[in-house]
């Protein structure tokens, strides 16, 4: 088997990422044009301009990696981004976050009830997209299998969100429980994107599962990176959402759990006071950052994220070293921190 490209040289050129981003955004604009009113207007606001487009890119790249046709799976790529954005609409209501992607959150702009309905509709659009794939020539048996993957993922995502609510304020939470929550909350959707793309593209069962495992590892890496951001003063400025959200919602993310396990009694007390008491969020962030720095928790969290990204890339060495597989692998490099 031909060796994989060097890890430090992304094999996916920026032109390919730009091409896919432009293709997806053009499809969003076609579906939700500027004249949109009512529910479609809310969807346009939520979907355009888009975010990182990681999940739809996984659908497209996974399909191409197994020999599928881009046009036939494009609706599924749009659908998975809709499901992701729909979940964010609900998350922002639950977390009482007023900003998303650097502007007013949907519930702030249109109202909480409207945001709930719009989020539900976007989640259903994920399934409606598979009907479009069928009309574009994807065999019915593939669509049926993809539907099952999406349905199972949808239930798992809801379970992950529910479990995260139950974990609020629990500083004794084990790292294993955190990873299980991160898998359900975030990684399940990335894994589903990979599996659906591979299924619709005609991939065999072993390849489909391998790509799904790639998405799973990538998703956990992505969640860890996201949990580190609020505690990095420089990165927090570019988050596009309130950096104090985790603190306000008493969310024991991975860096905090690591710090609590390592800290001396004084450090643990500082974490408990900052996260569990009615401390002003900005002050709480500063206090938590101080304990994270003393315990090296951020470095450990980054190392864990790196390890999940490494595992994701390693899985792909089991596939033929084609340009399309290299494009899938490059998506793991996009989770690296900017600093």
Q: Helix or strand or coil: residue 268?
A: helix
Q: Which domain holds residue 91?
A: 14-333
Flag whether 260 is in a domain. yes
Closest CA to 201 of 26, 50, 325, 51: 325
pLDDT, mean over the chain: 91
CATH number of the domain at 111, please: 1.10.600.10
Flag whether 339 is in a domain. no
Output helix, strand, coil percentages for the chain, rounded to the nearest 5.
75, 0, 25
Contact predicate 97/231, CB 8 Å? no
Q: pLDDT (tens digit, 9 = 90+) per residue, 269-304? A: 999 999 998 778 889 999 999 999 999 999 999 999
- Per-residue model confidence as pLDDT tens for the chain (339 residues): 333 444 444 444 566 778 899 999 999 999 999 888 999 999 999 999 999 999 999 999 999 999 999 999 999 999 999 999 999 999 999 999 999 998 999 999 999 999 999 999 999 999 999 999 999 999 999 999 999 999 999 999 999 999 999 999 999 999 999 999 999 999 999 999 999 999 999 999 999 999 999 999 999 999 999 999 999 877 767 777 778 899 999 999 999 999 999 999 999 999 999 999 877 888 999 999 999 999 999 999 999 999 999 999 999 999 998 989 988 998 887 665 433
Flag whether 5 is in a domain. no
Number of domains in the chain: 1
pLDDT of 339 reads: 35
Flag whether 8 is in a domain. no
Flag whether 7 is in a domain. no
Rounded Cα distance, 104 and 34, in Å: 19
pLDDT of 6 reads: 42
Phi-psi region of 100 (alpha: psi -120 to 50; beta: other; left: phi over 0): beta
The CA distances from residue 120 to 33, 123, 154, 228, 273, in Å, are: 20, 5, 12, 29, 37
Flag whether 3 is in a domain. no
pLDDT of 14 reads: 61
Flag whether 338 is in a domain. no
DSSP 183: I
Closest CA to 220 of 190, 263, 200: 190
Flag whether 310 is in a domain. yes
Give how far the C-alpha of residue 130 lies from the chain's centroid of Cα atoms, to the nearest Å.
Answer: 21
């Amino acid at each position: 088997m031909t060796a994989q490209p060097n890890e430090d040289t992304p094999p996916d050129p920026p032109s390919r990422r730009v091409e896919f981003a432009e293709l997806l955004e053009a499809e969003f604009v076609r579906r939700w044009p500027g004249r949109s009113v009512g529910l479609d207007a809310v969807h346009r606001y939520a979907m355009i301009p888009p975010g990182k487009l990681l999940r739809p890119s996984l659908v497209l790249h996974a399909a191409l990696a197994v020999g599928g046709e881009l046009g036939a799976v494009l609706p599924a790529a749009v659908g998975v981004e809709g499901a992701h954005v729909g979940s964010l609409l609900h998350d922002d209501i639950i977390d009482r976050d007023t900003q998303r992607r650097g502007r007013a959150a949907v519930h702030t702009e249109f109202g909480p009830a409207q945001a709930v309905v719009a989020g539900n509709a976007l989640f259903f659009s994920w399934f409606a997209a598979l009907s479009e794939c069928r009309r574009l020539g994807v065999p019915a048996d593939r669509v049926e299998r993809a539907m099952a993957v999406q349905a199972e993922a949808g239930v798992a995502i809801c379970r992950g969100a529910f479990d995260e609510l139950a974990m609020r304020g629990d500083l004794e939470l084990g790292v294993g429980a955190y990873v299980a929550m991160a898998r359900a909350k975030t990684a399940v959707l990335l894994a589903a994107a990979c599996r659906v793309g591979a299924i619709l593209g005609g991939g065999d069962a072993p390849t489909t599962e391998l790509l799904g495992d790639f998405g799973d590892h990538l998703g956990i890496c992505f969640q860890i990176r996201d949990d580190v951001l609020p505690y990095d003063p420089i990165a927090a400025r570019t988050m596009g959402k309130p950096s104090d959200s985790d603190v306000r919602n008493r969310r024991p993310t991975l860096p905090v759990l690591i710090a609590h396990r390592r800290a001396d009694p004084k450090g643990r007390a500082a974490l408990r006071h900052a996260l569990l008491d009615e401390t002003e969020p900005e002050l709480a962030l500063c206090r938590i950052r101080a304990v994270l720095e003393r315990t090296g928790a951020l470095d450990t969290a980054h190392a864990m994220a790196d390890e999940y990204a490494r595992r994701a890339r390693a899985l792909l060495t089991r596939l033929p070293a084609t340009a399309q597989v290299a494009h899938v692998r490059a998506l793991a490099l996009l989770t690296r921190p900017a600093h």
